[in-house]
C-alpha cells in the first residue's frame, strides 16, 4: 500500500537514484526534473520514511517525556513547560505515562531510546535505577525532573521538598497545632522521603517528639489519602488536629475522609497539601498548599536537555533546585 | 558512542553475519556461540536499532494518541482508557498534545506516521481535514475520538453531545429558568456545534425563542469561560438566571465570573457544565454536569484501532456514540 521511491521511479521512467536526489533536494538533479518528481511524489501520496532517514541523519527532533500520572494535574503542567520549550527549539515531544509502574517506566525508556529520540526527560518512580544508568552510559541525553534518583549522576530539576515541607509544619505549629498527621505517597520515592524529612525537622526544631503513629504512607492517589486518613482518625490515640498531605490529590482525599468522619475542615482538622494544582484554589474548602513552579520545572528540564543534545555532554551535570512557596488558603484555618 | 554489530563482531572475532544471527536467535548459529555473543553484546551495552528493525518487521507495537489539551482533566481520563486497552494488547502509547493548535496537530500526525506507529487515535481541533484524509488514504489505521470530522470517513467514538446538552437545558427549564446563557468553546469544533444544537432544540421544544445575545463562543479554556461570562452579565439586556457551559473547565471560569459580579451560584445564577471531570465534585460549589464515559471512550477507541491493525481495514467504519448522563449537584440549585 505504501508508495516507495521505486514506485515513483517506475512511473516517472527515471532511476531510483534520480528520484532519491530530487526528493532530498540534492544538486545533482536539474530544477525541472526535481519539480516534476516532487509533484509526482505528492500526487502518489509518497511519505518519506523517517525510520530510514533517521538511520542516516541520526537526529529525529523528538524528545521523550516520561511521567508517572497524567491524571494528577501536577504532571500535565510540567509537560506544558517541556512542550513549549521544546517547540521553540523545533522539537516534538512524545509523552509516556507509566501509571506509577516501574516496569512500564523501563519499557518506555527502552522504546523511546529504540525510536532514537534525541533526549529524555524522566519523572521516575523506579526503585532500581539500573535502566536509567544504562541509558546515561549509552550516551543518551537525559534530565530527571521532579525527583532525583540516588546514586544516578544525571541532570535534574527538582523543588526543595524538605524546605517546602518545613514551611507547612512551621505554619501549622504557628496556628497552635501540636498533633499533626503526615499522609505520604510511595515510600521509596525521594520526594516522599524529603517531604517527610522536612516534617520531622520542623517538629524537632519546635521540640515536639515525632509520633510515628501519625505518619502513614501509601500511594500518590486520592484513594490512598482517603483510606490512610480514615485509619489515622480511627486508630490514633491522640487524634490529629491537622494533617499534612504530601500532594494536593492526596489532600482532596484527606478532606473527604475528615468530612466522612463527621468532622469539618478547617474547624476540626486543618489540612495542607503540596503542589498547588490548578484546582486547589477552587476546592470546596480552598486548599492551603506548597506551590511548585511546575511549568518552570518542565521548561528548564527541556532547555538543559536540548543544550546537551546540541552541545554534547557537559562536564558536570546540572542540578536545579527550585524554591517552594506556601500559599495560605482556607483549609489550614485560623489560629487556635 | 553507540555499539554496533560490527563492533561486537570485531571483539568476538567472528563475522558480522554470525553476530546478527546470534542476536536474532536464528538457527544457523550454534547454542554456545549464540550465548557467548549475546553475553558480549549485553556487556558492551549493545542496543538493537529499532529504526533498522522497523524497516524489516513493519510493525512497531506503538500507537499514537493526539489530544488538544493535557491540562483539561477530561483528556487524561480518555488517555488512561487508551493506554490500558493498548497495554493489554501489547502496545505502547505515544501521547502528543496539540494545545488546540491545528498546525501542531498536523505536525504530530506527520511525525507519528513517519515514526511508523501502527495506528493513530485523534481528538482533532483541525478546521481543514486534508491531513487526516491523507493519513487515512495512505492506509494508516486511525480512530477519531471525542469529536467527529465532517466529510471524513473514519472510525469514531464520541458522545451524543446533542442529547447531553438537551438534558442540561431541559433540567434548567424544569427548575423554572427562562433566560439561559450558553458559554461555548471553539466555534468550528463539532462538539461546540452539537452542544449548541441541543441547547437550541431544548429551548425550541419548550416554545422559548433563542436570544442569540445569550450565546457566547470562545475557546475551551477557563479564562474564556470567565471573560465571556463577564461580558454576558454586563451586556445582556435580560440577565441570565442560568448558564450552561460547554465543558467543566469553562464552568469553573463561569462560576468565578458570577462571583466576581457580586452574585452567588446557584442562588442568583445556576451553572451547569459538561464532561464530569474528577474535580467537578470537589469544587467550591459542586458542579452539576453531563458525565461522559471518558475512560470507556479511550478504551473503545484503542480496541477498534488495534482490531484494524491486526485484521486489516474493515469494510465499514465503526461509529460508536456513547450516552451522556446528567449528574445533578449543587451548582444548578433548587426549583425557582
Work out the pLDDT band at B66, boundaries 50, 70, 90: very high
Work out the pLDDT band at A11, boundaries 50, 70, 90: confident
Which of B76, B108, B279 minimises the CB distance to A92? B108
Ordered by where they begin, the domains of chain B are: 5-48 (1.10.260.40), 60-158+294-323 (3.40.50.2300), 161-292+326-332 (3.40.50.2300)
Instruction: Indicate whether B28 pLDDT > 90.
Output: no
- The closest alpha carbon to A125, from A75, A162, A197, belongs to A75
Work out the pLDDT band at A284, boundaries 50, 70, 90: confident
Parallel, antiparallel or unpaired: strands B215-217 and B180-184: parallel
pLDDT per residue as tens digits for the range B229-288: 999 999 888 899 999 999 999 999 999 999 999 999 999 999 999 999 999 988 888 999
Q: How many CB atoms lie within 10 A of CB B24?
A: 13
C-alpha cell belonging to residue A254: 484527606
Instruction: Indicate whether A270 pLDDT > 70.
Output: yes
Q: Do B48 and A114 touch (CB under 8 A)?
A: yes
- pLDDT for B55 equals 47
Which of A62, A70, A139 minimises the CB distance to B80? A70
Q: Do A282 and B278 touch (CB under 8 A)?
A: no
- pLDDT for B69 equals 96
Cα(B20)–Cα(B15) distance, rounded to whole angstroms?
9
Give contacts of A104 with chain B, Cβ < 8 Å. 87
User: What is the H or E stretch that residue A119 is in?
Assistant: strand A119-122
Instruction: Indicate whether B54 pLDDT > 70.
Output: no
Cα(B267)–Cα(B242) distance, rounded to whole angstroms?
10
Minimal Cα distance from A106: which residue of B? Answer: B92
Does residue A70 sit at the B interface (CB-CB below 8 Å)?
yes
Residue with cell 473527604: A256
- pLDDT for A58 equals 67
- pLDDT for A104 equals 95
Which of B47, B62, B138 minimises the CB distance to A45? B138
Cα(B2)–Cα(B16) distance, rounded to whole angstroms?
16
- pLDDT for A309 equals 93
Minimal Cα distance from A47: which residue of B? Answer: B114
Q: What angle do CA B117, B119, B124 make, to 5 degrees?
A: 110
Q: Do A134 and B99 touch (CB under 8 A)?
A: no
Cα(B88)–Cα(B76) distance, rounded to whole angstroms?
18
Does residue B259 sit at the A interface (CB-CB below 8 Å)?
no
Does residue A83 sit at the B interface (CB-CB below 8 Å)?
yes
Whole-model pTM?
Answer: 0.83
Q: Do B138 and A54 touch (CB under 8 A)?
A: no
Share of chain A above pLDDT 70, in %: 95
Give contacts of B107 with chain A, Cβ < 8 Å. 92
Q: Do A47 and B114 touch (CB under 8 A)?
A: yes
Work out the pLDDT band at A18, boundaries 50, 70, 90: confident
**According to DSSP H, which parts of B47-144 are helical?**
50-57, 74-88, 102-114, 130-137
Does residue B101 sit at the A interface (CB-CB below 8 Å)?
no
Cα(A85)–Cα(A65) distance, rounded to whole angstroms?
13
Cα(B243)–Cα(B226) distance, rounded to whole angstroms?
12
- The stretch A126-134 carries a mean pLDDT of 88
Which of B73, B134, B283 minimises the CB distance to A71? B73
pLDDT per residue as tens digits for the range B108-159: 999 998 888 999 999 999 888 888 999 998 889 999 999 899 889 999 999 9
- The closest alpha carbon to B271, from B119, B168, B155, belongs to B168
Parallel, antiparallel or unpaired: strands B289-291 and B325-327: antiparallel
Does residue B56 sit at the A interface (CB-CB below 8 Å)?
no
pLDDT per residue as tens digits for the range A214-254: 999 999 999 999 999 999 999 888 899 999 999 999 999 99
ipTM value for the complex: 0.81
User: Which 3 state secondary structure label does DSSP give B66?
Assistant: strand
- pLDDT for B260 equals 95
Contact between B292 and B255 under an 8 Å Cβ cutoff? The reply is no
- pLDDT for B151 equals 86
* Mean pLDDT over the full length of chain B: 91
- The stretch B278-304 carries a mean pLDDT of 94
* Mean pLDDT over the full length of chain A: 91
- pLDDT for A95 equals 97
Instruction: Indicate whether B213 pLDDT > 90.
Output: yes
- pLDDT for B73 equals 96
Is the Cα torsion angle B37, B40, B42, B48 positive or negative in sign?
A: negative
Does residue B97 sit at the A interface (CB-CB below 8 Å)?
yes
- pLDDT for B1 equals 47
Burial of A106 (0-12, 13-18, 19+ CB in 10 A): middle
Distance from CA of A145 to the nearest CA of B (A): 18
Minimal Cα distance from A42: which residue of B? Answer: B134
Does residue B139 sit at the A interface (CB-CB below 8 Å)?
yes
Amino acid at each position: 500500500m505504501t508508495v516507495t521511491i521505486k514506485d515513483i521511479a517506475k512511473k516517472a521512467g527515471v532511476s531510483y537514484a534520480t528520484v532519491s536526489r530530487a526528493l532530498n533536494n540534492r544538486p545533482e538533479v536539474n530544477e525541472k526534473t526535481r519539480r516534476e518528481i516532487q509533484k509526482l511524489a505528492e500526487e502518489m501520496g509518497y511519505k518519506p520514511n523517517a525510520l530510514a532517514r533517521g538511520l542516516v541523519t541520526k537526529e529525529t527532533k523528538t524528545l521523550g517525556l516520561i511521567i508517572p500520572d497524567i491524571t494528577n494535574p501536577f504532571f500535565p503542567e510540567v509537560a506544558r513547560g517541556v512542550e513549549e520549550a521544546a517547540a521553540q527549539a523545533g522539537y516534538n515531544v512524545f509523552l509516556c505515562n507509566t501509571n506509577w509502574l516501574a516496569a512500564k517506566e523501563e519499557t518506555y525508556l527502552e522504546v523511546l531510546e529504540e525510536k532514537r529520540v534525541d533526549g529524555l526527560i524522566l519523572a521516575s518512580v523506579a526503585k532500581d535505577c539500573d535502566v536509567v544508568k544504562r541509558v546515561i552510559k549509552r550516551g543518551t541525553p537525559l534530565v530527571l525532573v521532579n525527583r532525583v534518583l540516588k546514586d544516578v549522576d544525571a541532570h535534574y530539576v527538582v523543588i526543595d521538598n524538605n524546605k517546602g515541607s518545613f514551611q507547612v509544619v512551621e505554619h501549622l505549629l504557628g496556628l497552635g497545632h501540636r498533633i499533626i498527621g503526615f499522609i505520604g505517597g510511595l515510600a521509596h520515592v525521594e520526594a516522599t522521603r524529603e517531604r517527610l524529612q522536612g516534617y520531622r525537622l520542623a517538629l524537632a526544631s519546635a521540640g515536639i517528639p515525632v509520633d510515628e503513629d501519625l505518619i502513614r504512607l501509601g500511594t500518590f492517589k486520592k484513594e490512598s489519602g482517603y483510606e490512610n486518613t480514615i485509619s489515622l482518625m480511627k486508630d490514633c490515640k491522640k487524634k490529629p488536629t491537622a494533617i499534612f498531605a504530601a500532594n494536593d490529590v492526596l489532600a482532596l482525599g484527606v478532606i473527604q475522609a475528615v468530612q466522612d468522619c463527621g468532622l469539618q475542615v478547617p474547624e476540626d482538622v486543618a489540612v495542607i497539601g503540596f503542589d498547588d494544582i490548578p484546582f486547589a484554589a477552587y476546592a470546596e474548602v480552598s486548599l492551603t498548599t506548597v506551590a511548585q513552579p511546575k511549568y518552570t520545572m518542565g521548561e528548564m528540564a527541556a532547555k538543559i536537555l536540548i543544550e546537551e543534545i546540541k552541545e554534547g555532554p557537559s562536564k558536570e551535570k546540572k542540578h536545579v533546585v527550585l524554591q517552594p512557596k506556601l500559599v495560605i488558603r482556607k483549609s489550614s484555618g485560623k489560629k487556635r
